[in-house]
Copies of this chain bind each other. A is one copy, B any other.
Amino acid sequence: LIAELINTGTELLLGRVQNTHQQWLCRRLADLGHTVSRQTLVADAGPDIQAAVREALGRADVVITTGGLGPTSDDATREMIAQLLGRPLRENAALVGHIQSFFAARKRPMPARTRVQALVPEGALVLPNPHGTACGLALEVAPNPFRPDAKTSWLILLPGPPRELQPMFSDAVVPLLRQGAPPPSAFACRTLRSVGLGESLVEEKIAGALRTSVGSGLEVGYCARPGEVDIRLAARGPGAEQIVREAEQTVRGLIGRHIFGAEEDSLESVIVDLLAQKGRTLALAESCTGGCIAHRITNVPGASAVFLGGMVTYSDQAKIDLLGVSPELLARHGAVSEPTAREMAEGARRRFKAGYALAVTGIAGPAGGTDAKPVGTVFIALASDRPTVVLHPLNPYDRETFKQVTAQQALELLRRILVEAA
Q: A27 at interface (Cβ–Cβ under 8 A)?
A: yes
Q: Contact between A314 and B318 (Cβ–Cβ < 8 Å)?
A: no
| CA of A359 to CA of B53, assembled, Å | 49
Show 14 A/B contacts (Cβ-Cβ < 8 Å), sorted by A: A12-B26, A13-B36, A13-B37, A14-B27, A15-B23, A16-B27, A38-B41, A111-B200, A113-B200, A292-B298, A298-B364, A301-B366, A309-B318, A317-B353
Interface residues in A189-226 by Cβ distance below 8 A to B read 189, 191, 198-201, 203-204, 207, 219-226
Known A71-B199, A394-B107; judge A295-B295 contact (CB<8 A).
Answer: yes
Q: Contact between A41 and B22 (Cβ–Cβ < 8 Å)?
A: yes
* Cβ–Cβ < 8 Å partners of A73 in chain B: 203, 207, 220
CB distance from A261 to the nearest CB of B (A): 14
Q: A294 at interface (Cβ–Cβ under 8 A)?
A: yes
Q: A176 at interface (Cβ–Cβ under 8 A)?
A: no
Of the four ranges (under 10, 10 to 19, 20 to 34, 35 or more), the interface on chain A belongs to 35 or more
Known A290-B303, A295-B295, A322-B311; judge A15-B19 contact (CB<8 A).
Answer: no
Q: A173 at interface (Cβ–Cβ under 8 A)?
A: no
Question: Which stretch in A149-157, A379-387, A398-406 binds the other chain?
Answer: A398-406
CB distance from A233 to the nearest CB of B (A): 11
Question: Which stretch in A42-50, A82-90, A249-257 binds the other chain?
Answer: A42-50
Q: Contact between A291 and B312 (Cβ–Cβ < 8 Å)?
A: yes
Q: A100 at interface (Cβ–Cβ under 8 A)?
A: no
Known A12-B26, A318-B309, A400-B299; judge A108-B221 contact (CB<8 A).
Answer: no
Q: Contact between A401 and B11 (Cβ–Cβ < 8 Å)?
A: no
Which of B14, B161, B298, B399 touches A224 (beta carbons < 8 Å)? B161
Which residue of chain B has its CB nearest to the CB of A112? Answer: B204
Which residue of chain B has its CB nearest to the CB of A105? Answer: B396
Q: A397 at interface (Cβ–Cβ under 8 A)?
A: yes
A89-127 vs B, CB cutoff 8 Å, 1 = contact: the mask equals: 000000000000000011110010110000000000000
Which residue of chain B has its CB nearest to the CB of A229? Answer: B72
Q: Contact between A308 and B301 (Cβ–Cβ < 8 Å)?
A: no
| CA of A234 to CA of B398, assembled, Å | 32
Interface residues in A131-190 by Cβ distance below 8 A to B read 131, 161, 163, 189
Q: Contact between A397 and B12 (Cβ–Cβ < 8 Å)?
A: no
Q: Contact between B301 and A290 (Cβ–Cβ < 8 Å)?
A: no
Q: A307 at interface (Cβ–Cβ under 8 A)?
A: yes
Q: A304 at interface (Cβ–Cβ under 8 A)?
A: yes
**Which of A289, A309, A397 is the most central at the interface, judged by chain B CB atoms within 10 Å of its CB?**
A309
Q: A63 at interface (Cβ–Cβ under 8 A)?
A: no
Known A311-B311, A312-B284, A314-B307; judge A198-B14 contact (CB<8 A).
Answer: no
| CA of A309 to CA of B321, assembled, Å | 11
Which of B222, B291, B301, B366 touches A298 (beta carbons < 8 Å)? B291
Which of B23, B297, B398 touches A19 (beta carbons < 8 Å)? B23
Which of B48, B191, B291, B352 touches A37 (beta carbons < 8 Å)? B48
Q: Contact between B48 and A42 (Cβ–Cβ < 8 Å)?
A: no
Q: Contact between A131 and B397 (Cβ–Cβ < 8 Å)?
A: yes
Which residue of chain B has its CB nearest to the CB of A368? Answer: B304
Which of B71, B286, B312, B321 touches A200 (beta carbons < 8 Å)? B71
